[in-house]
Amino acid sequence: MSRGRARLHPAVTSIAAAAALVLVILSVGVGWCDAASASAAEEEHPLDYREALEKSLLYFEAQRSGRLPYSQRVTWRGHSGLTDGLQQGVDLVGGYYDAGDHVKFGLPMAFTVTMLSWGAIEFGDDIAAAGEWHHALEAIKWGTDYFVKAHTHPFVYWAEVGDGDTDHYCWQRPEDMTTSRQAYRVDKDNPGSDLAGETAAALAAASIVFRRSNPHYSHLLLHHAQQLFEFGNRYRGSYDSSIEEVRSYYASVSGYHDELLWAALWLHRATGREDYLRYAVDNADSFGGVGWAITEFSWDVKYAGLQVLAAKLLLDGDPQAAEHGGVLEQYREKAEHYLCACLGRNNGSNVDRSPGGMLYVRQWNNLQYASSAAFLLTAYSHYLSSFSGDGDDRLLRCPDGPVTPAEMLTLARSQADYILGRNPLRLSYMVGYGRRYPVRVHHRGASVVSHKVDNRFIGCMQGFDDWFGRGRPNPNVLVGAIVGGPSRRDEFRDDRGNYMQTEACTYNTAPMVAVFARLHRLITAPAAEAAAGSDGSAEDCRRPGAALRLSAECR
């Protein structure tokens, strides 16, 4: 059973990651085959990014807690957690289960929604072009509705429902839960600046998403975001110091400084208020925003993400950015350190890769790091491509030489393709996608017969006896879930008990929603647009679509 999800190693250990194996990332992004064989494989089994996008959003419906709507598409799920918060006198029904168990952990849930919202902001047109905009909004709103409920007072936020220890002693469907639904909160006397900051970031980002379609709801989200930021900033402390029960599962190893900077930048983007930007500038050094050169981006460690946000202000020519150009340039340097490390162009201080080309950070649920890297690479490629400056300013500045936006997108695509089956095992790590995928996912609801098929109660230990230990595939397919993934040597064991590799998490899939949408849009663009300027010049190779045309000139 899962006792945490890659959260037992200090974030700072990733700073000194081992030197990466130098691989040539070809246009399809797999270092273990040449371009000809890769192209042949693509022609034989072309990847359908639109299908991947559709299924990734479907996964969030399988993770819903609470009373499910009539529009619920994952029909093997039923209502669950309908008394959450009752013993504390608050309504905490709703939200998401983070993975294969039934605890509602606030920090990873908020990060999931932040990433869904960021993707919708940057690539909303691409999501809409694929016909998935409505489902993307639903996925975000299922989380933000819960966050608003959980924020019962300006200085009170309910951080967790359920207890990881007791939950892991049982193997039950969510519809049959008999485990503790104790709820835990942070407040003035028991602060949680990291949780408050991440939730503020999620709500601020979501307020941008809903600004046009639902302005009243957008205003409500922004109101709660501002209050939560004020709470987290005024009463400082890490939430895992206030809530002992979360330490073995989602301990905030990076502390709360990154979340406060992250929230401030999202609030600046949502409001345009200069005081939020000034907060991120004034605290840039003391909070590590321009000091930490991190080589991971995750539910715990936000530095790379906030550094990319800060860099965007410079690239956009934000009027308020001019006054703070020096500090924002330092933010940009650290953002590019992360991106160059992913690309293997960082003078030896690079993110490791498996022989098959997967970005590798650590053994527990490694695909969360590959998916978050794919998102930041896709976003920054988009920012550079949209930049109106001259020449070198449109390139990623790496110690080992400049990188074009097309090359960045190529690496992002390689990670998406690896997840979808372009890997040494020819196994899709997205459940329900492709010909072969994990069928024994570590997930209580998927591994036990659906309540709608057999509504007889299944007890705590009965689930272990009758369902967990059997070797057969899960009776329910957890479509769209991205599992933890293979080892650093591309090895994977499809075993329900192998939770380090077969458990899926919401924050694995959330960053990929936008990546799949972007790749689908670029590949399905009109042929004339895709072929524009195909003389192989450096300028042409910076076009986002160049990396997707399998153009040898753009390597």
User: CA-CA distance, 104 to 92, in Å (whole number)?
Assistant: 10
442 has catalytic annotation: yes
User: CA-CA distance, 463 to 168, in Å (whole number)?
Assistant: 12
User: CA-CA distance, 241 to 222, in Å (whole number)?
Assistant: 27
Backbone angles phi, psi at 64, to 5 degrees: -70, 140
User: Which residues, at least 6 apart from 234, have a Cβ–Cβ distance to it below 8 Å?
Assistant: 155
Secondary structure letter of residue 166 according to DSSP: H
Contact criterion met (CB below 8 Å) for 172 and 99: no
Tell me, what amino acid is at 132?
Answer: E
User: CA-CA distance, 373 to 343, in Å (whole number)?
Assistant: 10
CA 515 to chain centre: 11
What angle (nearest 5°) sits at the alpha carbon of residue 296, between those of residues 9 and 249? Answer: 40
User: Which residues, at least 6 apart from 252, have a Cβ–Cβ distance to it below 8 Å?
Assistant: 107, 194, 195, 238, 239, 240, 300
Considering only CA atoms, give the Rg of the chain: 22
User: CA-CA distance, 343 to 352, in Å (whole number)?
Assistant: 10
Backbone angles phi, psi at 31, to 5 degrees: -80, 0
User: CA-CA distance, 81 to 66, in Å (whole number)?
Assistant: 5
User: CA-CA distance, 276 to 265, in Å (whole number)?
Assistant: 7
Backbone angles phi, psi at 186, to 5 degrees: -110, 150
In order, the DSSP letters of 219-282 are: HHHHHHHHHHHHHHHHS---HHHH-GGGHHHH--TT-SHHHHHHHHHHHHHHH--HHHHHHHHH
User: CA-CA distance, 139 to 127, in Å (whole number)?
Assistant: 13
Closest CA to 434 of 476, 479, 473, 474: 479
Contact criterion met (CB below 8 Å) for 243 and 160: yes
Q: What is residue 437's three-state secondary structure?
A: coil
Task: Please say whether the dihedral angle defined by the alpha carbons of residues 514, 516, 521 and 523, taken in this order, is positive or negative.
Answer: positive
User: CA-CA distance, 549 to 429, in Å (whole number)?
Assistant: 25
Look-up of token digits 């939560």? 228
Secondary structure letter of residue 158 according to DSSP: E
Contact criterion met (CB below 8 Å) for 437 and 504: no
Active-site hit among 102, 324, 442, 451: 442
What angle (nearest 5°) sits at the alpha carbon of residue 38, between those of residues 36 and 44? Answer: 105
Catalytic residues: 442
